[in-house]
Structure formats: C-alpha cells, structure tokens
C-alpha cells in the first residue's frame, strides 16, 4: 500500500515575495516550493501585513476563516484568513489577519521610533496561537508544524500545553528552525501572563526564563520535538561557542542530538549568470570571457576606471559587527595599499557607514561605496567582481558566497558557519578549492588571505580553473529539500 505524503504546515513571519526583512523570507519563499516538488502536502501560514497587496498577489477570502477566536490570558481576539499561492508553485499560503497587530507600516520595527514595536510579544503570540485555531477551522491535520525563528517559537509550547487534551492535535509534532540565534524574542517577564505562559515556567531555571526576561526562542527550543538550523557548522558552533550561541549554548547543547544543520539553497532561476535579468551581459561556464563585460559595467556604475588586470573586490552586506565590518575597517589601510579596486554596497551602523564614506572619498580612484541596498546593483556586483569579500565574524548560512560561486566570482570568507560548509580553501586544497578562507579572525590573517587571492588572480590559467570549480558547485533548494524531507520523516517517527 502506497504511503500517504507527509502533511507539513510551514509557518514563518515573512515570506518572499509577500514580506521581507532578511534571509528568513528567502528561505520561506523557496524551500516550500521545492518540498512540494517532492510530493509533500505542504501549506504555509504567515501574518497578513498591511504591505501585502491583495490584488497584486490575488488573495482570496476563505469563508471558514472569516472569524477565528483566539484567546490568550483571558483576552479573546478575532483573526481572519485569506489565501493565495506562493508564486510559480502550487503551495497554498494562508494569511492570518489581526488588524490591530499587523495593519502597520513595517513588520517588527516602528518607523517613527526606529525601535521594535512595544507589543511584539503579543503580536506574535496571538499569531502563533491563531495558526493552531486556523488548522481546526480548515479541518486539516498536518503531521508536522515547521516553525521558524522566535516569532513562531511559541507554537510548540501552545501545542503541548494549551492543546494537550484536544484530540484534534494528538500526534501532531513540531520542528523549529533557527535562522540566526542572535534574534531570540526577549521581553519583560510580566508579559507572560498576557500571552498564556504559566508563571511557573518564568521562574529561574525554567524554559522561558532568560536573565530576568522572557525568551521566546529559549522556550521554543525546549518544547519543539526536533530542531534545525541553516548549516552543519553553525549547528555545532551555536552549541560550543558561547559568543555565537548568544547566551543559549547550554540550552542548545542539552538538545544537540535533536539539532540538525541543513544548508540553505540558492534559487538558480534568479541567481545564475546565464538567466540573470539584472545584469547587462549574460554568460555561462562555456563563455566565462563575457564576465569581464559586467566588470566594465560595474566600474562605470561606481565611477571607477575599468582595469582588466586589476582585481575588483566586491562586498554586498549589512554594515554590522556580525558581518565583520570592524575587522574590515581595521584592515582597510593595508587593503588599499594592494593593487586592487573595491566596491561596497550596504547599509547599517551609521558610524561604519560614515567611515566607509570618508575612505571612499579619500581613495576615489580605487574604492567606491554606496550606502543603500539595491537588488539590481547586488546582482551586478556578483557578476562583475573578481572576488567577493565576506569577512563575517559568524554567519549562520550566508547566501552571497553561494551566489558568487555560480557567477565565477571567487569568494574570500572567514571560516565560520555556512561559509565553512560551502567554500573550499584553494590554499589548503589546491586541486578542489573554489575560494579563499581565513581561519583566524584578525585583520592580519584577512589581509594575508587577500594577498594570496591577488597573487592567484595574476595566474590566468589557475584562476580560470578555480572559476570552473566554483561555477559547477551546486547548492540548490532541491538538495536542501531532500534533506528536509528526511528530517520530516524523523520528526514524524518521533525519533
């Protein structure tokens, strides 16, 4: 007898193209479609934000979901739901609406103050509980609810406490994916009562207690049946390195056997030089020579003279400590003494932004900086640079190094997280290397690795061979979906 496909409810606070602030949206916008291709019965749920245009995405009313009562801490609120398809797929997405919580100009941060909305705990607690109430209204019983990050981390708790005696949910299990453990959903303890968390669980040493605060992610780690994160190395690092585990290493280490690292994938329909609609000159493995035309276009856009023999280093990043910006600034004097050109695209810390602006002004013939994020320019940097820099202090997965490999733009990265899992160092593996890796997180080691990359760039035949290895490396969503399908089997079997 043929086994029925597993039923998966995939829950995320943001999904590309509907709403996005970071990498979570990219994953949620791609992985479910790849899972559907593997014959899994997968449906998605996310909040209905003000920015989601009903007409543009063809959202339809769901009569059954016109009124879902969601009660927390003695207060009932009414949610409603609409549905649409994830673009270019047959995956249903349900948009759950609480106008008082989500009819706002941004997802998490108040644009007026620049700070998180004061009621974020309640917003995402009610959303999390509405997911479970919506399942009942749909008469749909998934085998697994796949939760993502702190915004959905209360679902495993509610399922095992508020709904433990409800026959509808018997046997339903949860997987919690941690995309970046630095973001945990930490709130005052007093909010616990409002969102239905038992007071005993907020005492010192209990699942939700965290340095005198309430921590959504910590509670989710405790109650979820299994855990995953976005690369094998990051899975190990967050358990073993307290500076990367962000205060939760001990909690994660206690569940290390339940934690799996699965690399994110790249959408090669979007990030591939032969198909890329944002670059002026398409190319592939067989005509890598055309890549240089994109280098010309990149130099022109950033106001640099085109120099074919000079390595052009690119950087597309958030200007933060996590992304290694302080290290880059410390190394900048040494970097600009090298015979290179440098283009940087990014926004973030105002102080870092100002320093980069000043450096670019002083070195205008060799360095250019644009303080913004622009998707088209990001694609051009991937296609037009010779080397892509990613000096991240830690990096759960990283996607830019995966994109750059496909474009024959050689990544230079710190050995951490997903960077370590995707980039093979040319210096230690000359026959297999597809990039350059520095192990010690110091300006001196970073500069030494840049020098090695520049020296290799001058050897045209050697560089072309590294490019060929880079372009043929495959990190597709199909590959990730295979691993998630195996993990779902494990979750469903209760292992």
Rounded to whole angstroms, the Cα distance separating 117 from 194 reads 16
At which residue do the structure tokens 């410390």 appear? 330
Domains 7-265+478-492 and 285-474 are alike in CATH topology = yes
Here the tokens at position 406 are 């496909």
Long-range own/partner contacts, residues 193-199 (CB < 8 A, 24 or more apart)? 193/73, 194/72, 194/73, 194/75, 194/121, 194/122, 194/125, 195/72, 195/73, 195/121, 195/122, 195/125, 195/126, 195/154, 196/72, 196/73, 196/125, 196/129, 196/158, 196/162, 197/154, 197/157, 198/161
What pLDDT was estimated at residue 373? 86
What pLDDT was estimated at residue 1? 47
Rounded to whole angstroms, the Cα distance separating 172 from 181 reads 25
Rounded to whole angstroms, the Cα distance separating 306 from 256 reads 50
Here the tokens at position 257 are 């056997």
* pTM of the entire predicted model: 0.94
CATH class of the 7-265+478-492 domain in this structure: alpha beta
pLDDT tens sequence for the chain (495 residues):
457 889 999 999 999 999 998 889 999 999 999 999 999 999 999 999 999 999 999 999 999 998 889 999 999 999 999 999 999 899 999 999 999 999 998 999 998 888 999 999 999 999 999 999 999 999 999 999 999 999 999 999 999 999 999 999 999 999 999 999 999 999 999 999 999 999 999 999 999 999 999 999 999 999 999 999 999 999 999 999 999 999 999 999 999 999 999 999 999 989 999 999 999 999 999 999 999 999 999 999 999 999 999 999 999 999 999 999 999 999 999 999 999 999 999 999 999 999 999 999 999 999 999 999 888 999 999 999 999 999 999 999 999 999 999 999 999 999 999 999 999 999 999 999 999 999 999 999 999 999 999 999 999 999 999 999 999 999 999 999 999 999 999 999 975
What pLDDT was estimated at residue 127? 98
CATH class of the 285-474 domain in this structure: alpha beta
Contacts of 367 (CB under 8 A, 6+ apart): 336, 341, 342, 343, 344, 359, 360
pLDDT digits (tens, 9 = 90+) for 223-264: 999 999 999 999 999 999 999 999 999 999 999 999 999 999
Strands ordered across the beta sheet of 209-210: 186-188, 213-215, 209-210
Reference 470, options 392, 393, 382; nearest CA is 382
Please report, for the chain, the start and end positions of each structural domain, with discontinuous segments joined by +. Answer: 7-265+478-492, 285-474
Reference 206, options 152, 157, 147; nearest CA is 157
Reference 99, options 133, 138, 126; nearest CA is 126
Here the tokens at position 7 are 């039923």
Rounded to whole angstroms, the Cα distance separating 244 from 257 reads 19
For the chain, give the number of residues: 495
């Amino acid at each position: 007898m043929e086994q029925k496909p597993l039923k998966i409810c995939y829950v995320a606070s943001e999904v590309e193209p509907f709403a996005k602030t970071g990498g979570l949206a990219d994953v949620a916008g791609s992985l479910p479609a790849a899972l559907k291709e593997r014959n899994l019965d997968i449906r998605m749920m996310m909040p209905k934000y003000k920015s989601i245009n009903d007409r543009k995405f063809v959202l339809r009313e769901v009569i059954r979901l016109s009124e879902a009562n969601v009660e927390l801490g003695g207060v009932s609120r009414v949610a409603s739901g609409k549905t649409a398809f994830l673009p270019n797929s047959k995956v249903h997405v349900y948009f759950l609406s609480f106008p008082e919580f989500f009819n706002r100009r941004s997802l998490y941060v108040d644009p007026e103050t620049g700070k998180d909305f004061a009621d974020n705990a309640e917003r995402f607690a009610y959303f999390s509980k509405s997911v479970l109430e919506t399942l009942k209204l749909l008469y749909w019983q998934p085998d697994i609810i796949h939760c993502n990050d702190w915004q959905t981390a209360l679902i495993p708790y509610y399922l095992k406490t508020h709904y433990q005696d409800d026959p509808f949910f018997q046997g339903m299990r949860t997987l919690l994916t941690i995309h970046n453990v630095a973001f945990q959903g930490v709130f005052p303890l007093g909010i616990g009562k409002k969102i239905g968390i038992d007071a005993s669980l907020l005492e010192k040493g209990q699942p939700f207690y965290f340095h005198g605060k309430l921590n959504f992610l910590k509670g989710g780690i405790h109650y979820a049946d299994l855990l995953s994160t976005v690369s094998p190395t990051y899975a190990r690092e967050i358990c073993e390195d307290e500076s990367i585990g962000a205060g939760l290493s001990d909690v994660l280490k206690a569940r290390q056997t339940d934690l799996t690292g699965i690399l994110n994938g790249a959408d090669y329909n979007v990030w591939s030089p032969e198909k890329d609609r944002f670059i002026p000159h398409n190319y592939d493995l067989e005509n890598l020579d055309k890549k240089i035309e994109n280098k010309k276009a990149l130099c022109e856009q950033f106001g640099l003279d085109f120099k074919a023999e000079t390595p052009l280093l690119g950087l597309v990043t958030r200007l933060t400590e996590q992304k290694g910006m302080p290290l880059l600034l410390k190394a900048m004097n040494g970097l600009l003494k090298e015979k290179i050109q440098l283009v940087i695209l990014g926004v973030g810390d105002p102080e870092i932004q100002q320093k980069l602006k000043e450096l670019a002004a002083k070195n205008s013939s060799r360095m250019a900086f644009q303080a913004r994020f622009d998707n088209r320019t990001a694609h051009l940097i991937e296609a037009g640079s010779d080397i892509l820099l990613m000096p991240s202090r830690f990096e759960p997965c990283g996607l830019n190094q995966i994109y750059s490999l496909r474009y024959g733009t050689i990544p230079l990265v710190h050995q951490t997280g997903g960077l370590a899992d995707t980039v093979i160092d040319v210096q230690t593996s000359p026959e297999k290397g597809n990039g350059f890796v520095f192990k010690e997180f110091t300006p001196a080691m970073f500069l030494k690795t840049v020098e090695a990359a520049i020296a290799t760039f001058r050897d045209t035949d050697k560089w072309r061979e590294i490019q060929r290895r880079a372009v043929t490396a495959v990190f597709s969503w199909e590959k990730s979906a295979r691993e998630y399908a195996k993990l779902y089997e494990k979750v469903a079997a209760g292992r």
